[in-house]
Amino acid sequence: MNRAPLIFLGIFFTVAFSWTGIVLTNHLMYADLQPVFDENEGRAFPQPLPGDALRGKEVYRDLGCMYCHSQQVRHPGFGTDIQRGWGERGSVARDYIHERRVYLGTMRTGPDLRNVGARFAGEGGRNWHIQHFYNPTEVSNVTLSNGRTYGSIMPPYRFLFRTQPIIGEPSPRSVQHLLPAKDQPPVGHEIVLTQRGEDLIAYLLALKDPPLYPEEARRVYVPPAQPDRGEPRPGTAPESTREVLQ
Amino acid sequence: MSATLTESLRPTATPELAKRVELSAIDASTRGPVLYFLGSSILWLILGTVFALIASIKMHAPEFLGDSEWLTWGRVRTAHLNAVAFGWSVNASFAVAIWLMARLARAEVRHAGMLTLAAVFWNVGLTIGIFGILAGDSTSIEWLEIPPYATPILFVAYALIGAWALITFRFGRSQHIYVSQWYILGALFWFPSIYSVAQVMLLLEPTRGTVQSLVNWWFAHNFIGLWLTPIGVGAIYYFLPKVLGKPIHSYYLSILGFWSLALFYNWAGVHHLIGGPVPVWVQTAGIAASFMMVVPVLVTAINHHLTMVGSFSALKYSPTLRFIVFGAVNYTLTSLVGSLASMRSFSEVVHFTQHTVAHAHHGLYSFFTMVMFGAVYYIVPRVTLKEWPSVKLISLHFWTVAIGNIAMIGALTIGGIEQGINMNVLPTNPDGTAGEPMAFLNVMAQTLKWLEWRTYSGILITVGHVAFAINFAWMLWQPRKPGITQPALFRNAPDMEVAR
Q: Does the beta-carbon distance from A14 to B263 stay under 8 Å? A: yes
**Do A181 and A133 sit in the same domain of this protein?**
yes
Across the range B358-380, mean pLDDT stands at 97
Distance CA A163, CA A166 (A): 9
User: Is the residue at A154 inside a domain?
Assistant: yes
Counting one residue from chain A and one from chain B, the pairs whose CB atoms sit within 8 A come to 222
B293-306 tens-digit pLDDT: 999 999 999 999 99
**Do A59 and A48 sit in the same domain of this protein?**
yes
Please tell me the predicted confidence (pLDDT) of residue B5.
Answer: 45
**Do A93 and A135 sit in the same domain of this protein?**
no
Distance CA B397, CA B374 (A): 11
**Do A71 and A189 sit in the same domain of this protein?**
no
Contacts of B380 (CB under 8 A, 6+ apart): B35, B38, B388, B472, B475
Please tell me the predicted confidence (pLDDT) of residue B491.
Answer: 67
**Do A108 and A138 sit in the same domain of this protein?**
no
User: Is the residue at A202 inside a domain?
Assistant: yes
**Do A76 and A180 sit in the same domain of this protein?**
no
- Find the helix packing angle between B440-477 and B370-384, rounded to 10°: 10
Please tell me the predicted confidence (pLDDT) of residue A124.
Answer: 96
Min Cα separation B135/chain A (Å): 8
User: Is the residue at A239 inside a domain?
Assistant: no
User: Which of A210-224, B180-194, B263-277 has the lowest average pLDDT?
Assistant: A210-224
Q: Does the beta-carbon distance from B72 to A155 stay under 8 Å? A: yes
pTM: 0.92
**Do A214 and A134 sit in the same domain of this protein?**
no
Q: How confident is the model at residue B3 (pLDDT cuts 50, 70, 90)?
A: very low
**Do A94 and A201 sit in the same domain of this protein?**
no
Please tell me the predicted confidence (pLDDT) of residue B496.
Answer: 41
Task: Closest CB to B218: pick one of A18, A106, A152.
Answer: A18
User: Which of A57-71, B39-53, B163-177, B311-325 has the lowest average pLDDT?
Assistant: B163-177
Please tell me the predicted confidence (pLDDT) of residue B9.
Answer: 46
User: Is the residue at A106 inside a domain?
Assistant: yes
Distance CA B198, CA B206 (A): 9
How far, CA to CA in Å, does B42 sit from each of B86, B159, B469?
12, 23, 6
Q: Does the beta-carbon distance from A80 to B278 stay under 8 Å? A: no
Please tell me the predicted confidence (pLDDT) of residue A25.
Answer: 95
Asked whether residue B223 carries a pLDDT value surpassing 50, the answer given is yes
Interface residue A37 vs chain B (CB under 8 A)? no
| CB < 8 Å to B212, chain A | 101-102
Min Cα separation A184/chain B (Å): 16
Task: Closest CB to B215: pick one of A23, A95, A107.
Answer: A23
How far, CA to CA in Å, does A132 sit from each of A57, B110, B446?
18, 60, 21
Q: How confident is the model at residue B24 (pLDDT cuts 50, 70, 90)?
A: confident
Q: Does the beta-carbon distance from A65 to B74 stay under 8 Å? A: yes
Percent of the residues in chain B that have a pLDDT greater than 90, as a whole number: 77
Please tell me the predicted confidence (pLDDT) of residue B498.
Answer: 44
Cα Rg of chain B, angstroms: 23
Determine which of A15, A70, A161 to mutate to test the interface with B (most B C-beta atoms within 10 Å): A15
Distance CA A171, CA A191 (A): 9
Count of residues making up chain B: 500
Across the range B416-438, mean pLDDT stands at 93
Q: Does the beta-carbon distance from B441 to A140 stay under 8 Å? A: yes
Interface residue A139 vs chain B (CB under 8 A)? no
Q: Which CB contacts under 8 angstroms, 24+ apart, belong to B104-107?
A: B104/B172, B104/B174, B104/B178, B104/B180, B104/B181, B104/B238, B105/B168, B105/B169, B105/B171, B105/B172, B105/B173, B105/B174, B105/B181, B106/B22, B106/B26, B106/B172, B106/B173, B106/B174, B107/B26, B107/B168, B107/B171, B107/B172, B107/B173, B107/B174
Total of domains in chain A: 2
Find, in chain B, the residue whose alpha carbon is nearest to that of A112. Answer: B352
Min Cα separation A30/chain B (Å): 8
Cis amide leading into A185 (omega within 30): no
The phi and psi torsions of A192 (rounded to 5 degrees) equal -120, 155
B54-65 tens-digit pLDDT: 999 999 999 999
Please tell me the predicted confidence (pLDDT) of residue A6.
Answer: 86
pLDDT, mean over chain B? 91
Task: Closest CB to B210: pick one of A17, A93, A155.
Answer: A93
Q: How confident is the model at residue B392 (pLDDT cuts 50, 70, 90)?
A: very high
DSSP letter at A184 equals P
Q: Does the beta-carbon distance from A18 to B267 stay under 8 Å? A: yes
**Do A133 and A110 sit in the same domain of this protein?**
no
Range of the domain at A223: 15-115+209-228
A112-170 tens-digit pLDDT: 999 999 999 999 999 999 999 999 999 999 999 999 999 999 999 999 999 999 998 88
Please tell me the predicted confidence (pLDDT) of residue B335.
Answer: 95
User: Is the residue at A71 inside a domain?
Assistant: yes
Determine which of B194, B210, B454 to mutate to test the interface with A (most A C-beta atoms within 10 Å): B210
**Do A106 and A214 sit in the same domain of this protein?**
yes
Q: How confident is the model at residue B483 (pLDDT cuts 50, 70, 90)?
A: low
**Do A216 and A107 sit in the same domain of this protein?**
yes
User: Is the residue at A242 inside a domain?
Assistant: no
Min Cα separation A140/chain B (Å): 8
Please tell me the predicted confidence (pLDDT) of residue B267.
Answer: 93
Please tell me the predicted confidence (pLDDT) of residue A229.
Answer: 43
User: Is the residue at A152 inside a domain?
Assistant: yes
B100-151 tens-digit pLDDT: 988 998 888 888 889 999 999 999 999 999 999 999 999 999 999 999 999 9
Interface residue A12 vs chain B (CB under 8 A)? yes
Q: Does the beta-carbon distance from A84 to B440 stay under 8 Å? A: yes
**Do A162 and A100 sit in the same domain of this protein?**
no
User: Is the residue at A6 inside a domain?
Assistant: no
B326-354 tens-digit pLDDT: 999 999 999 999 999 999 999 999 999 99
pLDDT profile of chain A (246 residues), mean per 10: 78 93 94 91 93 97 98 95 95 95 97 97 96 96 94 97 93 92 94 97 97 83 46 38 33
Find, in chain A, the residue whose alpha carbon is nearest to that of B441. Answer: A142
Helix (H) or strand (E) holding A193: strand A189-193
| CB < 8 Å to B215, chain A | 23
Across the range B38-47, mean pLDDT stands at 98
